[in-house]
Amino acid sequence: MGRRIAEVSTPARLAGPDEGLGRDELGLAARNHGLPLEALRHDLTPPGLHYVLTHYDIPYVPDETAWRLMVGGRVHRSLSLSPARLRGYPAVTARVTLECAGNGRALLTPRPVSQPWLVEAAGTADWTGVPLRVLLDEAGVRSDAVDVVFTGADHGVERGKEQDYRRSLPLGVATGDDPEVLVAYAMNGMPLPPQHGSPLRLVVPGWYGMAHVKWLREITVADTPFTGFQQSVAYRIRQEPGDEGEPVTRIAPRALMVPPGFPDFMSRTRFVAPGTVTLEGRAWSGRAPVTGVEVSTDDGATWQPAGLEPEHGHRWAWRRWSHTWTAVPGEHVLCARARDAAGNVQPVEQAWNRGGFANNAVQRVPVLCTGSP
């Protein structure tokens, strides 16, 4: 039977030259979904349009009253917290843009075979909950602690290894206040939907989605660095399978554009009429505040600065940008790129890595401008 497990739960691999997407990638694409890019018009992503990525099944929790979040490990007092009890703490709400670490993966050559995102694995919500540091303070972290490990109720097999979904944060990040990590129980003022972690999830503003552990049931303070599958095998930037690699952490800058005009059903090519077209979109970075967005209407040959709206007090949420374009008949490729205060700029060329993580190469939007399509 071990042989069969190894046959159905295989090592990570790269697609061959010109290899189309397989049934396995389609199985993931049919159940997970991105943000339809026209929904970038909304400050807050409407329900059901925020991207979703679940490694295993969405746990079924028809009644949350029995749910307990255990806080233990290297603490002075273990805690057992119900969702109702967490709602009794002073509530904090943060507007946060989340992005999947694998966003952009399916655009890479060769293509890492996994959830095949193009550029749409993002979304913004108001998350309400209790700061993690409040709970850790209450439990009393021991002086030998180094990592905080978060366990979700989602359970499955990945590359031959059976596991609960589990990730860690360094103690300094877990107890920090910039960003302030939340144990969240509400999304946009409503209880969490099942696919977003009902009844409890972690929210780590500025970090890629893998850190925001959903269906959170255990917080364990550890005195050794956590080396579980999702920390030391998955979610590493590697060139070769044997590399130790760099961990995936904070979100690289990205600007996305609302594709202008209207689409062809199958190719999603856009059609616009000649004249003034307002290009708009959103930009974010988890590494430092976004300081500028530039737009190209000639496939990256030249760039013009776009208008960028203020943060409006939401450091961890995307910011709206816009740019006026005078469309003339012909074919165009529109691009936008963001830069942040730490000097990070989106690359026009992709920086390949084996897992297909953090590919923030600029979005390319083919547009056909014609008087009467």
Q: Tell the smallest beta-carbon distance from residue 131 to a second copy (Å).
A: 26
Nearest C-alpha neighbor of 191 from the set 99, 319, 87, 283: 87
For the chain, what's the residue count?
A: 373
22 binds a second copy (CB under 8 A): yes
* Contact window for a second copy (CB under 8 A) among 92-100, 128-136, 153-161, 335-343: 153-161
Q: Which positions from 230 through 289 interact with a second copy, judged by CB under 8 A?
A: 259, 262-269, 271
* Contact window for a second copy (CB under 8 A) among 56-64, 178-186, 203-211, 245-253: 56-64
29 binds a second copy (CB under 8 A): yes
Q: Tell the smallest beta-carbon distance from residue 8 to a second copy (Å).
A: 4
Each residue of 153-163: b (16+ CB within 10 Å) or e?
A: bbeeebeeeeb
Distance CA 81, CA 87 (A): 10
Q: Tell the smallest beta-carbon distance from residue 330 to a second copy (Å).
A: 8
- Are 340 and 290 within 8 A, CB to CB? yes
Q: Residue 305 or 330: which CB sits closer to a second copy?
A: 330
The helix (run of H) or strand (run of E) holding residue 28 is helix 23-31
Q: Residue 163 or 291: which CB sits closer to a second copy?
A: 163
Q: Residue 30 or 276: which CB sits closer to a second copy?
A: 30
- Are 15 and 164 within 8 A, CB to CB? no
Site string for a second copy, 166-195 (x = CB under 8 A): ---------------------------xxx
155 binds a second copy (CB under 8 A): yes
| Residue of 34, 112, 206, 286 that binds a second copy (CB under 8 A) | 34
Distance CA 186, CA 164 (A): 23
Distance CA 370, CA 132 (A): 54
Q: Residue 55 or 74: which CB sits closer to a second copy?
A: 55
> Long-range contacts of range 188-194, CB-CB < 8 Å, 24 or more positions apart?
188/44, 188/47, 188/125, 188/126, 189/126, 189/128, 190/47, 193/47, 194/58, 194/59, 194/60, 194/61
Place of tokens 């959830």: 115
Encode 30-45 in three state secondary structure.
HHCECCCHHHHHCCCC
Dig out the tokens for 73 from the structure: 């490990």
Q: Which positions from 118 through 137 interact with a second copy, judged by CB under 8 A?
A: 118, 120
24 binds a second copy (CB under 8 A): yes
* Contact window for a second copy (CB under 8 A) among 47-55, 76-84, 317-325, 340-348: 47-55
Distance CA 117, CA 124 (A): 17
Site string for a second copy, 307-346 (x = CB under 8 A): ----------------------x-x---------------
Burial of 262 (0-12, 13-18, 19+ CB in 10 A): exposed
Q: Tell the smallest beta-carbon distance from residue 264 to a second copy (Å).
A: 4
| Residue of 49, 79, 233, 333 that binds a second copy (CB under 8 A) | 49
Q: Tell the smallest beta-carbon distance from residue 199 to a second copy (Å).
A: 13
Q: Which positions from 87 through 116 interact with a second copy, judged by CB under 8 A?
A: 106, 113-114, 116
* Contact window for a second copy (CB under 8 A) among 34-42, 145-153, 298-306, 352-360: 34-42
DSSP string spanning 42-92? SSSPPTTTS-B--SSPPP--S-GGG--EEEEESBSS-EEE-HHHHTTSPPE
Q: Tell the smallest beta-carbon distance from residue 261 to a second copy (Å).
A: 9
